[in-house]
Amino acid sequence: MENFITEEMCQNCARCCRDFPFVEVSALEITKLEKYTGLTLLQFTNPKGKEAADGYFLQSLENGNCLFLGEKDGHASCTVYEVRPDICKAYPINEKHQAYCESVQNK
């Protein structure tokens, strides 16, 4: 599926990083985030289930923002952009996501 989203569009929107996004992170992504942020696993993730093997999501703040969402030059900015999870790089990854994207941009 062609991804028509530009970096500028996302900077002006950032809805994917708000409203309690479910950002699943792999073991490799967790390691990269730990190195990049100096934080440990449980400081930035929530377990998906009772077992570690169930995997992890990134934490959201009380206001629903991903804990790594920041602001730079008046725009939303991912503070871990260089090591952001693959799902963040790829989104929107299917037609349902793309429809969501078109419906929420700049609202």
Q: Does 15 bind ligand SF4 (CB under 6 A)?
A: yes
Q: How many residues bind ligand SF4 (CB under 6 A)?
A: 23
Q: Can you say whether the dihedral through the CA atoms of 54, 58, 61, 65 is positive or negative?
A: negative
Query: Which one of residues 1, 9, 61, 90 is an interface residue with ligand SF4 (CB under 6 A)?
Result: 9
| Shortest Cβ 67–ligand SF4 spacing (Å) | 7
Residue 52 is classified by DSSP as: G
Find the part of the chain contacting ligand SF4 (CB under 6 A) among 35-43, 44-52, 97-105.
Answer: 97-105
Q: In whole angstroms, what is the distance from residue 45 CA to residue 5 CA?
A: 27
Nearest to 30 by CA among 40, 20, 16: 40
3-state secondary structure of 82: helix
The 3-class SS string of 64-83 reads: CCECCEEEECCEEEECCHHH
Residue 92 is classified by DSSP as: S
Q: Does 92 bind ligand SF4 (CB under 6 A)?
A: yes
Find the part of the chain contacting ligand SF4 (CB under 6 A) among 36-44, 49-57, 86-94.
Answer: 86-94
Which residues are near ligand SF4 by CB under 6 A? 5, 9-10, 13-17, 21, 23, 58, 66, 68-69, 78, 80, 84, 88, 91-92, 101, 104-105
